[in-house]
Amino acid sequence: MFLRNFSHVPTERLNWTPTPTAKSALRVAAHTALYYARFAEMIQNRATPQVADLDAWLAQRTSEETAVTTVEEVKSAFRSGLEHVNRALDSLSPDEVDMELDSGQGWAMSMRFLMKLPAWHATLHLGQIDYLQTCWDDQQIYVG
């Protein structure tokens, strides 16, 4: 669904933003696509990232997202990350599904939640793409 709706973003609107500080459809799509691999890594490693400097970590994520500049790069990262997620999910044992992952930052995440997070994350960002489309008066509902 995400790639389907993203495919309807016109080329001239890929980098359009409703305000100077908002993310464009391309930036939202890059973020969504790249996070599949990040979620897969967490599942595969049975751990959340242990981040000593959150600002630096987030700056690196931002840099990686802004380096994605084409629809094809988004599609490639999305599909590759999704395959990585599926492999990581297949690697879990029944006992590992019940794990709690400590962030080291005062919060924990259950593996069950993490298993659902890649799809939920893409769904949330699909809504952002849909919203941006309405901003340029694309009122079409894309199905099928």
Over pLDDT 70: what percentage of the chain?
Answer: 100
pLDDT tens string 12-27: 999 999 999 999 999 9
Buried b (16+ CB within 10 A) or exposed e, 51-78: eeeeeeeeeeeeeebeebeebebbeebb
CA-to-CA distance for 6 and 3, rounded, in angstroms?
Answer: 5
Span 28-58, pLDDT tens digits = 999 999 999 999 999 999 999 888 898 999 9
User: Residue 23 has what DSSP assignment?
Assistant: P
> What is the rounded CA–CA span in Å between residue 122 and residue 40?
14
What residues pair up with 109 in beta bridges, in sequence order?
Answer: 101
Mind listing the domains of the chain with CATH numbers? 2-135 (1.20.120.450)
Residue-level pLDDT at 100: 96
User: Which pLDDT tens digit goes with each residue over 96-111?
Assistant: 999 999 888 888 999 9
User: Does 76 have pLDDT greater than 80?
Assistant: yes
Terminal-residue alpha carbon distance, the chain: 9
pLDDT at 144 over 80: no
Mean of all residue pLDDT scores within the chain: 95
How would residue 118 be classed by pLDDT, with cut points 50, 70 and 90?
A: very high
pLDDT at 128 over 80: yes
Q: What's the CA angle centered on 47, arms 42 and 48, to 5 degrees? A: 70
| 68-to-75, 93, 143 alpha-carbon distances in Å | 10, 34, 26
